[in-house]
Amino acid sequence: MNPTTLPARRPKQRATLATALGWLAAFAVLAVMPLLLTADSHKFYIELLSKVMIMAIFALSLQLLIGYTGLVSLGHAAYFAMAAYATAMLAPESGPGNGWVLLAGALAASAALALVVGALVLRTRGVYFIMVTLAFAQMVYFVFHDTKVAGGSDGTYIYFRPEFPVPGERLLTVNDPTHFYWLVWLGLLATVAVLALVLRSRFGHALVGIRHNEQRMRAAGYATYRYQLGAFVAGGLLAGLAGFLYAIQFGFVNPEIASWHQSGNAMLMVILGGVGSLAGAVLGAFSFVLLAEWFSTLTKHWQLLMGGFIIVAVALLPRGLVSLPAVLRHGRRGRRNGDQGTEPDEAAGKGGADGHRRSNTEAA
């Protein structure tokens, strides 16, 4: 090993270690939240945090497309809704269903839809891709809204939360909000872990290369269409996981979860948190859902407050909320350098040649 490469690797290793520790700390905090809440507010906040984590899974699924593949989809809610409707239609009305069967059905439905849609829309580029994904999502919306497939515009109910049988153990139920919280927590953990592994693999590196320069990757021998289709289906599959958990939590699904508003909300979460960052997607989801909840208690026109916040946040932090620590560090470093610049210059007595060199460097 060349010793000169060690200093270059150390910062990367430290950054990787810091990222891993940050994720561990975040999931540890979420793990102990049910223990920290008081009995009076326990149920409300547990259900709110469950909803936030579901939306974080949804935002992560879209981050894979926008941030790492360069595919700006405005129809991502279609796969979220497809999984939710599949869960509702497969769930029995007479008793709790098998959670594993419902999960498999929901994921299969969302992945199949993503495969069909992706095979068609990936033949377009740029704004045409955005509009075609939106068109397919609206088709899904009107299928559920204008037909009696699953209750029409009124939607449909899930009367019993499913049970998850485990070999050698008793049935795992999610009727209790805390038990469901742990299920969603595990879902978010699995999503982050899977995406982190995928992005560190050859497949993930190829996706990033395609996002930067698709023509060069194609010239290098990569089947870019297949890679993009694989990412598209994976994004739809993870959106399906979020839709499955959403349907279980609320026990009711309607066509509104397939509308373009839902896709727009997911995109806002990604942009607000930071494009091209898994942590950014999670942070954006937490910020968006919690702020929406808070603003709605202040006024019925809470969308104005949310819009204003997003505009200010994007203007001040173009790389998203995830870049806030780096911005603060840079600001402190700049102020520290400025304070040092006001002190007497010990080098002022040096020859004029040094002064000329500094002037030329600053001019450059």
Span 249-270, pLDDT tens digits: 999 999 999 988 999 999 999 9
Span 169-220, pLDDT tens digits: 667 778 888 889 999 999 999 999 999 999 999 999 999 999 998 899 999 9
Domain that holds residue 132: 30-257
Least confident of 28-32, 149-153, 219-223, 229-233: 149-153
Asked whether the beta carbons of 271 and 287 are under 8 A apart, the reply is no
Residues 6+ apart with CB under 8 A from 62: 73, 76, 235, 239, 266, 267, 269, 270, 281
Band of residue 305 on the pLDDT scale cut at 50, 70, 90: very high
Mean pLDDT of 126-148: 91
Q: Which residue has the higher pLDDT, 352 or 111?
A: 111
Residue 225 lies in a domain: yes
Partners of 157 in beta bridges: 252
Residue 2 lies in a domain: no
Reference 158, options 80, 78, 89; nearest CA is 89
Residue 171 lies in a domain: yes
Span 55-106, pLDDT tens digits: 999 999 999 999 999 999 999 999 999 999 999 999 988 888 889 999 999 9
d(CA 54, CA 189): 11
Reference 181, options 44, 25, 40, 20; nearest CA is 44
Helix (H) or strand (E) segment spanning residue 138: helix 126-146
Residue 323 lies in a domain: no
Q: Which residue has the higher pLDDT, 149 or 178?
A: 178
Residues 6+ apart with CB under 8 A from 32: none
d(CA 5, CA 7): 6
d(CA 165, CA 143): 33
Structurally, how many domains does the chain consist of? 1
User: 153: number of CA atoms within 13 Å, CB side?
Assistant: 1
203: left (phi over 0), alpha (psi -120 to 50) or beta: alpha
Residue 333 lies in a domain: no
User: 189: number of CA atoms within 13 Å, CB side?
Assistant: 14
Residue 232 lies in a domain: yes
Span 21-50, pLDDT tens digits: 888 999 999 998 888 876 667 788 899 999
d(CA 310, CA 318): 11
Please give the backbone phi and psi of residue 172, each rounded to the nearest 5 degrees, phi first: -95, 115
Q: Which amino acid is at 240?
A: G
Residue 194 lies in a domain: yes
Residue 249 lies in a domain: yes
